[in-house]
């Protein structure tokens, strides 16, 4: 705006004059003075706070308050102030029927200030699912038990939806359903023949269920969580994984008799199917195998639960020295996922070795590592890696990378 910078007066004095102007109601002059302060001192929290107060547009107030929070993330006034501005902007968006924008603004507002009753109330109004709405309204009533609008809203949802929640996708429904109306998954083992043909359950919802339930099932193999994990695998058309979960679980004392009966019935059904040659999944293409070499059991588990729902067979190996034995036992995989930092042979050395092996020379390698940086990427490329993924990673990212590398290696052949 200003082309010729005038000699810069003392910022303290400018700020004092600016605040005085603001208090006298002269907003234009106040903003003019305080803008100079933050221009000279971009770290001046007080300056940005006053500018937020004086902002003629909510968007400008948002920018100023974000500056304060950049400087001082725990600034209480800036957090609640920003939250309040975002709620106002969210209400405007909601009233203009821009629900996506309203959700974004109100979502951030309630994150900044979890005690924002108005934020939660409006967020309930623009929620994507009834379940989200119920969650938001519950927050409102927790914050203010006298909020009649929220109480009526909750009554409405409970009357419409009932209280059955799908064990796989967690959506609410009017009554317990053998097939969830939301994710289409078969949610019980009462009718085992339901799995003879694909259930067409929502794959994303099932993958999410696996990610959520697998850790619980590992902790308590005979729990309900393990049971539903098995169901998620069945809905994904991976009976082998389901059997693994059920078998591990059935031997546990905490699995009750009903649980075991259901699983036994399923096993019997499969056996008779197999005798008749109609087992589900038989006509599917054989799954592609990914061999994961990582010394951390957690990472091996994480890679498995990420890739299995996407239809990959996963073989895990704890160190480079055991890779040949694993190949002898399970066959040459379609892809390797290698950790870089391992005791003994590291990932780079292992990758070079695989490149020299007659069976493994063409098998693509994806590096999975906690180390980031250009240098490691380069070393990976020298060793012959196709891709490089930094921990921590999202299951989806890993699945995408693995699918992409397999696709490009298939087309290269």
Shortest reach from residue 90's CB to Zn ion, in Å: 29
As beta bridge partners, residue 339 has: 368
CA dihedral 13, 17, 18, 21 (to 10 degrees): 180
Which residue number, 91 or 201, has a Cβ lying nearer to Zn ion?
Answer: 201
Which residue number, 116 or 182, has a Cβ lying nearer to Zn ion?
Answer: 182
Which residue number, 198 or 297, has a Cβ lying nearer to Zn ion?
Answer: 198
Shortest reach from residue 183's CB to Zn ion, in Å: 3
Sheet holding 289-293, edge to edge: 313-317, 289-293, 335-339, 365-369, 387-390
Shortest reach from residue 212's CB to Zn ion, in Å: 12
Which residue number, 85 or 185, has a Cβ lying nearer to Zn ion?
Answer: 185
Shortest reach from residue 204's CB to Zn ion, in Å: 11
Helix (H) or strand (E) holding 71: helix 58-71
Cα(187)–Cα(213) distance, integer angstroms: 14
Cα(22)–Cα(409) distance, integer angstroms: 66
Which residue number, 68 or 169, has a Cβ lying nearer to Zn ion?
Answer: 169
Shortest reach from residue 343's CB to Zn ion, in Å: 43
Which residue number, 87 or 169, has a Cβ lying nearer to Zn ion?
Answer: 169
Q: Max alpha carbon distance in the chain (Å)?
A: 93
Shortest reach from residue 199's CB to Zn ion, in Å: 11
Shortest reach from residue 344's CB to Zn ion, in Å: 45
User: By CB neighbour count within 10 A (0-12 exposed, 13-18 middle, 19+ buried), where does 196 fall?
Assistant: middle
Question: Do residues 153 and 142 touch, judged by C-beta distance below 8 A?
Answer: no
Q: Which of 389, 396, 371 is nearest to 210 (CA)?
A: 396
Shortest reach from residue 167's CB to Zn ion, in Å: 8
Cα(136)–Cα(145) distance, integer angstroms: 13
CB proximity list for 114: less than 8 A, separation 6 or greater = 139
Shortest reach from residue 189's CB to Zn ion, in Å: 16
Cα(3)–Cα(20) distance, integer angstroms: 26
Shortest reach from residue 182's CB to Zn ion, in Å: 5
Which residue number, 138 or 165, has a Cβ lying nearer to Zn ion?
Answer: 165
Which residue number, 78 or 209, has a Cβ lying nearer to Zn ion?
Answer: 209
Which residue number, 118 or 235, has a Cβ lying nearer to Zn ion?
Answer: 235
Work out the number of other CB atoms within 10 angstroms of the CB of residue 249.
24
User: Which stretches of 246-300 are assigned E, i.e. beta strand?
Assistant: 289-293
DSSP string over 168-223: TT--EESS--SB-TTT--B--SSSGGGGSS-----HHHHHHHHHHHHHHHHH-TTS
Which stretches of 277-389 are DSSP H helices? Answer: 297-307, 323-330, 347-356, 374-383
Which residue number, 98 or 224, has a Cβ lying nearer to Zn ion?
Answer: 224
What is the contact surface with Zn ion in residues (CB under 5 A)? 166, 168-169, 180, 182-183
Work out the number of other CB atoms within 10 angstroms of the CB of residue 344.
11
């Amino acid at each position: 705006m200003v082309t010729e910078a005038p000699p810069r007066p003392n910022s303290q004095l400018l700020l004092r004059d600016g605040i005085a102007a603001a208090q006298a109601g002269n907003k234009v002059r106040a903003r003019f003075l305080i803008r100079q302060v933050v221009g000279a001192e971009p770290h001046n929290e007080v300056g940005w706070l006053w500018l937020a107060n004086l902002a003629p547009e909510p968007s400008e107030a948002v920018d100023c308050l974000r500056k304060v929070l950049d400087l001082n993330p725990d600034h209480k006034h800036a957090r609640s102030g920003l939250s309040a501005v975002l709620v106002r902007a969210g209400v405007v968006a909601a009233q203009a029927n821009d629900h996506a924008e309203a959700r974004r603004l109100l979502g951030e507002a309630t994150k900044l200030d979890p005690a924002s009753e108005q934020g939660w109330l409006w967020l309930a109004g623009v929620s994507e699912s009834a379940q989200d709405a119920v969650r938001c309204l519950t927050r409102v009533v927790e914050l203010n038990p006298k909020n009649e609008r929220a109480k009526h809203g909750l009554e409405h949802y409970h009357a419409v939806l009932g209280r059955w929640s799908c064990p796989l996708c967690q959506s609410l429904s009017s009554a317990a359903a053998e097939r969830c109306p939301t994710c289409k998954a078969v949610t019980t083992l009462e009718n085992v023949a339901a799995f003879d043909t694909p259930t067409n359950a929502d794959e994303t919802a099932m993958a999410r269920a696996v990610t959520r339930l697998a850790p619980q099932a590992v902790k308590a193999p005979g729990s309900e969580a393990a049971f539903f994990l098995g169901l998620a695998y069945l809905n994904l058309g991976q009976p082998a994984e389901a059997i693994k979960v059920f078998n591990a679980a059935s031997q546990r004392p905490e699995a009750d008799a009903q649980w075991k009966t259901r699983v036994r019935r399923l096993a019997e059904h499969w056996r008779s199917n197999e005798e008749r040659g109609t087992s589900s999944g038989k006509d599917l293409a054989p799954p592609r195998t990914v061999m994961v070499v990582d010394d951390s059991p957690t990472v091996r588990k994480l890679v498995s639960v990420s890739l299995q729902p996407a239809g990959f067979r996963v073989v895990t190996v704890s160190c480079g020295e055991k890779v040949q034995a694993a190949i002898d036992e399970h066959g040459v995989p379609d892809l390797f996922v290698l950790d870089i930092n391992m005791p003994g042979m590291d990932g780079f050395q292992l990758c070079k070795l695989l490149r020299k092996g007659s069976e493994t020379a063409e098998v693509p390698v994806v590096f999975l590592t906690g180390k980031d940086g250009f240098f490691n990427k380069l070393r990976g490329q020298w060793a012959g890696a196709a891709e490089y993924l930094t921990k921590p990673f999202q299951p989806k990212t890993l699945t995408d990378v693995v699918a992409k590398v397999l696709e490009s290696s298939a087309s290269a052949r």
